[in-house]
Amino acid sequence: MDPINHDELYEHYSFEVEKKHDLIRIDKFLLLRIPNTSRTKIQKSILLGNVFCNDKIVKSNYKVKPLDKISIRFEYEPYNKEIIPEDIPIDVIFEDNDIIVVNKSSNMVVHPSYGHYSGTLVHALLYRFKDIEYASDNQRPGLVHRLDKNTTGLMVVARNANALSYLSNQFAERTISRTYLALVWGDVKEEQGTITANIGRNKKNRKLITVFDNTEEGKHAVTHYEVVERFRYVTLVKCKLETGRTHQIRVHMKHIGHPLFNDFEYGGNHILRGTTFSKYKQFVQNCFKILPRQALHATELSFLHPADEQLVMFHSNLPDDMQTVINRWRNYINHI
């Protein structure tokens, strides 16, 4: 579960300079290449360190050379629009005066942001629970953490300011226990293990996260995992977060060579293991159709309740799409 992260989203452009291109300043080069933009906007991106040549930050007086790879990102304006509650079905598995525990479905963004102006979990929560206090962030009322759009499972939402503060402190102190089930590519070698690797925004594409070899880059991230069941070509693993970074499990599992099954953003949507026989290929493609998202589910959540500081624990079974694919893999390897 990702803690709330206030990183900006970016608009991206990238270019490769032609072989016989003249030497010109990079700001002029970008002005000629990007439609409907201004020199001021480009200069601002340069000053913010958002213009790169061959993966290195450059200044406005840099002159582009033939075959240079140029990229620029523009920060979107902060999203700050009124949220109009919407009557959207959500699976609430527990509620009291202080907290709400939701079993989030797939294809649901947690809170409003650029490109997601309606249909979010926040819109649904505000319709059903009109007493949720906004606290300091009127775009994320009650939220102390989040899940990716296509990750399913458990989330806790604070109903008032005291609960929000109490839960936020537990996340900061890493005392909240969070467990996921993930179906990953490959036969994971060890029965259990720990992945410790700094992660942060990809310098080329800020919507993606990457692992940094340099310990001075990115943020410290730790994921513990253990094998639940093996299916020769894929493995069901249980992951427990020690830290809660954006896309942490997805990036860490890819880092050790086991991307999540059908994870489009991190390479799991390709047939990465197994034979090239048409029947196997067709079997995997059928599984992709049943589970058109990364195979990741937040299955267990436990924390101290804000009212009495007693431990509460919640469990969520695998959703139908993920369970169906697991059953198919189980059946497949039993008949080959």
Average pLDDT over residues 121-143: 83
Nearest to 64 by CA among 115, 16, 2: 16
- Whether 182 and 322 map to the same domain: the answer is yes
Taking the CA atoms of residue 80, residue 84, residue 88 and residue 90 in that order, the dihedral angle to the nearest 10 degrees is 60
- Whether 84 and 51 map to the same domain: the answer is no
- 239-273 confidence digits (pLDDT tens): 999 998 999 999 999 999 999 999 999 999 999 87
Average pLDDT over residues 307-315: 97
What gap in Å lies between CA 110 and CA 5, rounded to an integer? 12
- Whether 48 and 194 map to the same domain: the answer is no
- Whether 158 and 272 map to the same domain: the answer is no
Q: Which domain holds residue 37?
A: 10-75
Task: Report long-range pairs for 63-66 (Cβ below 8 Å, ≥24 apart).
Answer: 63/23, 63/24, 63/25, 63/26, 64/17, 64/21, 64/23, 64/24, 64/25, 64/26, 64/29, 65/17, 65/21, 65/23, 66/17, 66/18, 66/19, 66/20, 66/21
- Whether 247 and 187 map to the same domain: the answer is yes
Residue 1 counted as domain residue: no
- Whether 242 and 277 map to the same domain: the answer is yes
Whether 213 sits among the annotated catalytic residues: the reply is: no
Catalytic residue among 148, 187, 263, 320: 148
Is residue 185 classed as helix, strand or coil in its secondary structure?
Answer: strand
* Degrees to nearest 5, angle at CA 166 with 163 and 167: 85
CATH number of the CATH domain containing 40: 3.10.290.10
> Would the pTM count as exceeding 0.85?
no
CATH number of the CATH domain containing 126: 3.30.2350.10
More confident residue, 1 or 135: 135
- Whether 242 and 218 map to the same domain: the answer is yes
Highest mean pLDDT among 18-22, 50-54, 194-198: 194-198
